[in-house]
Amino acid sequence: MTSTIDPKSIGRPARPHRHARTLTGYFPEKDASGKDKWPRGDEKAWKDGQRSVDKDVKSVTRNFVGHVQTSLARQAYNLDDFGAYQAAALSTRDDLLVNWNNTQLTYTRKSPKRAYYLSLEFLMGRTLDNALLNLGLKETFSDGVQRLGFNMEDILEQERDAALGNGGLGRLAACYLDSSASQELPVWGYGLRYKYGIFQQFISTDGEQLEAPDPWLDNQNPWELPRLDVIYDVRFYGHADRLNDGTPRALWQGGQEVLAVAYDVMIPGYSTATTNNLRLWESKPKRGFDLNSFNAGNYEGAVEASNSAQAITSVLYPNDHTYVVLFGKELRLKQQYFWTAASLADIIRRFKNLGKSMQEFPDYVAIQLNDTHPTLAIPELMRILIDDEDLRWDNAWGIVTNTFFYTNHTVLPEALEKWPVPLMEHVLPRHMQIIYDIVLDFLLAVEKKFPGDRERLARMSLIEEGVPKQVRMAHLACIGSRKVNGVAELHSELVQTTILKDFVEFEGIGKFGNVTNGITPRRWLDQCNPELSTLITNTLKLKKSVWLKDLTKLEGLLPFAEDKVFRAKWAAIKQRNKERLAHYVQTTLGLTIRTDAMFDVQIKRIHEYKRQSLNILGVIHRYFTLKKMTAAEKAKVNRRVVFFAGKAAPAYYIAKLTIRLIVNVARIINADPDTKEYLQLYFLPDYSVSLAEVLIPASDISQHISTAGTEASGTSNMKFCLNGGLLLGTVDGANIEIAEEVGENNVFFFGHLTPAVEDLRYQHLYHPVPIEEKCPALAEVINQVSTGAFGDGGVYEPLLNTIRQSDYYLLTDDFDSYIAALDMVDEAYLDKEEWVKKSIRTTAKMGKFSSDRAINEYAESYWNIEPTSVPPEGY
């Protein structure tokens, strides 16, 4: 299948015009006494929440112009928006660096226990706006660039997203870094510096997803510092020989050696001098190229080793909750080891500078494993303690199991990571030996507690029998950690009663817990919805820095739900956010959206368990219902604009078909004169953090409709509700806790509950009922798609068959209650005043979902670390 790229289909404006212009106000006017006249005096330097260096408009613009002339080597009369962004970023970075240095110095001096967050993904989005907010320089800076003839919003738009993640897991890591720094906690992140982030998504005219690489570093990255002095060797392959000298030691030699080079990314806390570090590793060849081949004129051979080393950190694997396509992927295994080995070497070096004995390691270091991706850190720390530090096995295992903490992110069986034993033996021979030793000890202990229970041993083993045998990473992460947690109450419960049930019985429930996810209110309210933030600040009569750091303060909004004037202001902001989104779609896609309608949004990775298919089939149902209505009937319906956005893993065929269906349904219904006034549908390409920041504040209702028990938590549900969008969802993940907080009457729930799911699936397989009987409304919709109402029906058969056949995600069971819930949403929306009350009450009760709360739970209940304040500069 070949398709052409519709140039309009990319939702990210290519830097369009480069209007170079002169910096106005570069030469300030003089006042009567001959001194420079600036719009604001130095007395305005300190804003709410700011305790940085003495900053005013004058010094900000000076620094900015300095970077234009020196770092960028450009003239003050010849600068475009992109140049202005670069200068803005570089001068902001100067401020970050001062705090960053102070913070690291403080940590070195005070040597507190530190926590390290190991995540293969950090979905950071843009940095400039966040850095200025956190530094307390946003207004000053904005004034400064305006004086120079630039507009802050245009400058911010020039920045490319740092998209080193797939979805929720990577964004969670980014929110946790923001909260750690804001709470003054000594936490560093460790990840990989991918040359290419998550692919750019294009949509062809016939609805096919096309992928292009994301060369995010092409514009240079002002937010990172290469640390050419922080370098470690990492080995792969070779052979491991046990010494058999009465110790468990072995010698691992030969194979390939590559270098890990550190790049540091500054993570400023909000309204504090604390600026933590995110250290990302880049792979480099240890020896440039093979001289023998080079001299023989074999240039390809000469660069091969170099290419093989560089490949390790080239690309982010584009999979979210699906490992099928990863099975046996050697490069992915090498990424995981490269990253954990470099990170541990760095952590140990820092620990050794304290001059403590290895026994005290867990008193100074806590390491959080974000999903099973960094689980190799467990055998790697064992290797170091045994082979390099010469510790006894039990002693080493004691240190390991007091250092690590494991967060599980999914109970979907296909998403549980496993590595084939032969591949592990080939790439990491020493680690495979260690894993076998761990297995032996572990199974002996299980056998002791449950004598003769062979099935239990097989279920619990770290090695799954089969051809090939596989290492179960979740089991290794579990037994190698001090605590194991899920990411929402229901999910943690499921972890304990399903995939790790045997481990709860063996190790006791005390080891297992829950930390419900959170989101940072700095980015997901103040930055993305500045008008709402200002209204909240004025209404609560609190400083912004107070409620943004204690989000439960939002409860103070509750009484204002009864205030008509306040409600009008609240609704007007939602309306302006819709217009902002409409403007974005107009300028990027050339499409005109009506804004006098309910905005209904589902944005997240495209996956069967998230059930975008349920949503699109619901839209089709609504379309045909409208088609059958008289004009008088239609006049009473609620106008709806439905938005989808999200990427499908490139090899995930059914997910890509779902996108195709959405795009083709949109093409038909947006052009239908009978209905287009009442129903519009858009698929916005290339979902990203920055796109989410425009969509979320504009939403009236958002959909989180996973099959019960499949969405571990979800975090976009929290973002929408924080911005006063109501939630339509299943009783799943954090939806449940959101409803507990905001009140069930303010959310729209539907669908079967988790305990029913297993039974329903069994029925589908062994007592199937034809869809026509079970759910005639859905049968009709499927029939329309199949017979070509939205283009060649045959194309969609594989997608439709997943529903007609085993229907693993229960669309046939939930469709009717889904449609009923949509009708309830319509009815509720028609009562505008009541709807706005619900919206206000929802925002008011979202305090629990701040990532500040979540990170404090990790710090107190898991890591045992404490806030360590950094004196502001000048002390």
Which positions lie near ligand PLP, rule CB under 6 A?
Answer: 167-168, 171, 604, 687-689, 692, 714-716, 719
Q: How far is CA 451 from CA 442, 464, 507, in A?
A: 13, 20, 16
- Whole-number CA gyration radius for the chain: 28
In whole angstroms, how close is the CB of 696 to ligand PLP at the nearest point?
A: 8
User: In the β-sheet with 701-704, what is the strand arrangement from edge to edge?
Assistant: 679-683, 640-645, 598-603, 701-704, 726-730, 747-750
Helix (H, G, I), strand (E, B) or coil at 47: coil
Cα–Cα distance, 298 to 303 (Å, whole number): 9
Please answer whether residues 710 and 732 qualify as being in contact, where contact means their C-beta atoms are separated by less than 8 angstroms.
yes
- Return d(Cα 203, Cα 663) in angstroms, integer: 9
Determine contact, residues 232/11, Cβ cutoff 8 Å.
no
Shortest distance, position 716 Cβ to ligand PLP, whole Å: 3
Among candidate residues 334, 567, 578, 604, the one labeled active-site is 604
Phi/psi-derived region of residue 203, left when phi > 0, alpha when psi is between -120 and 50, beta in every other case: beta
CB of 178 to ligand PLP, least distance (A): 13
Nearer residue to ligand PLP within complex by CB, 351 or 609: 609
704: nearest Cα among 726, 682, 681: 726
- Considering the complex, state which of residue 675 and residue 706 has its C-beta at the smaller distance from ligand PLP: 706
Cis peptide before 39 (omega within 30 of 0): no
Does residue 272 carry a catalytic annotation?
no
User: Which three-class secondary structure state does DSSP give residue 239?
Assistant: strand
680/725 Cα distance (integer angstroms) = 19
Look-up: residue for tokens 């050794």? 352
Residue 9 Cβ, how far from ligand PLP at the closest point, in Å? 18
Rounded to whole angstroms, the Cα distance separating 241 from 433 reads 10
From the list 578, 605, 622, 752, the catalytic residue is 605
Considering the complex, state which of residue 475 and residue 523 has its C-beta at the smaller distance from ligand PLP.
523
- Torsion 138-140-141-146 (CA) sign: positive
Closer of 11 and 167 to ligand PLP (Cβ): 167
Least gap, CB of 692 to ligand PLP (angstroms)? 4
For residue 670, give Cα distances in angstroms to 174, 665, 674, 865.
37, 8, 10, 55
Check: CB of residue 120 under 8 Å from CB of residue 339. yes
Q: Give yes or no: 583 in active site.
A: no
User: Please, what is the minimum distance in Å from the beta carbon of residue 11 to ligand PLP?
Assistant: 12
Which residue lies nearer to ligand PLP by CB, 681 or 696?
A: 696
Q: Which of 675, 715, 730, 842 is catalytic?
A: 715
Catalytic residue from among 138, 522, 610, 841: 610
Beta carbon nearer to ligand PLP, 336 or 710: 710
Q: Which 3 state secondary structure label does DSSP give 520?
A: coil
Q: Cβ closer to ligand PLP: 374 or 733?
A: 733
Active site residue 604: yes
* 409 among known catalytic residues: yes
Task: Give least dist CB 173 to ligand PLP, A.
Answer: 11
Cα distances (angstroms) measured from residue 202 to each of 4, 7, 74, 620:
10, 9, 34, 24
Q: Does residue 367 sit in helix, strand or coil?
A: strand
d(CA 640, CA 642): 6
Closest distance between ligand PLP and the C-beta of residue 723, in Å?
12
Pick 126 or 171: Cβ nearer ligand PLP: 171
Phi, psi of 245 (to 5 degrees): -110, 25
- Beta carbon of residue 715, minimum distance to ligand PLP (angstroms, whole number): 4
Q: Give the nearer residue to ligand PLP in terms of CB position, either 223 or 687.
A: 687
Residue type, 111: S
- Least spacing, CB of residue 494 vs ligand PLP, in Å: 17
Give the C-alpha separation, 431 to 648, whole Å.
34
263's enclosing H/E stretch is strand 256-268
Instruction: Tell the smallest beta-carbon distance from residue 621 to ligand PLP (Å).
Output: 23
Catalytic residue check, 838: no
541, two tokens: 């009569």
Tell me how far apart the alpha carbons of residues 846 and 825 are, in angstroms, rounded to a whole number: 21
**Min. distance of Cβ 711 from ligand PLP in angstroms?**
7
Give the residue with the Cβ less far from ligand PLP, 485 or 688: 688
The residue type found at 493 is: E
Residue 168 or residue 618: which is nearer to ligand PLP going by CB?
A: 168
| Bridge partners, 432 (sequence order) | none
| Sign, Cα dihedral of 17, 21, 26, 29 | negative
Is 490 within 8 Å of 736 (Cβ atoms)? Answer: yes
- How far apart, in whole angstroms, are the C-alpha atoms of residue 454 and residue 24? 79
Beta pairing, strands 275-285 & 256-268 = antiparallel
Alpha helices in 246-329 (DSSP H): 291-295, 299-311
* Residue of 93, 475, 491, 719 with catalytic role: 719
What is the nearest approach in angstroms of ligand PLP to the Cβ of residue 133? 17
- Burial degree of 871 (CB within 10 A; 0-12, 13-18, 19+): exposed
Exactly one of 55, 58, 409, 483 is catalytic; name it.
409
Neighbouring residues of 615: CB distance < 8 A, sequence distance ≥ 6: 602, 642, 644, 703, 705
Specify whether 715 is catalytic.
Answer: yes
Q: For residues 413-426, b (16+ Cβ closer than 10 Å) or e, as one string?
A: eebbbbbbbebbbe
- What is the C-alpha separation between 606 and 603, in angstroms, rounded? 8
Active-site residues: which are they? Answer: 409, 604-605, 610, 715, 719
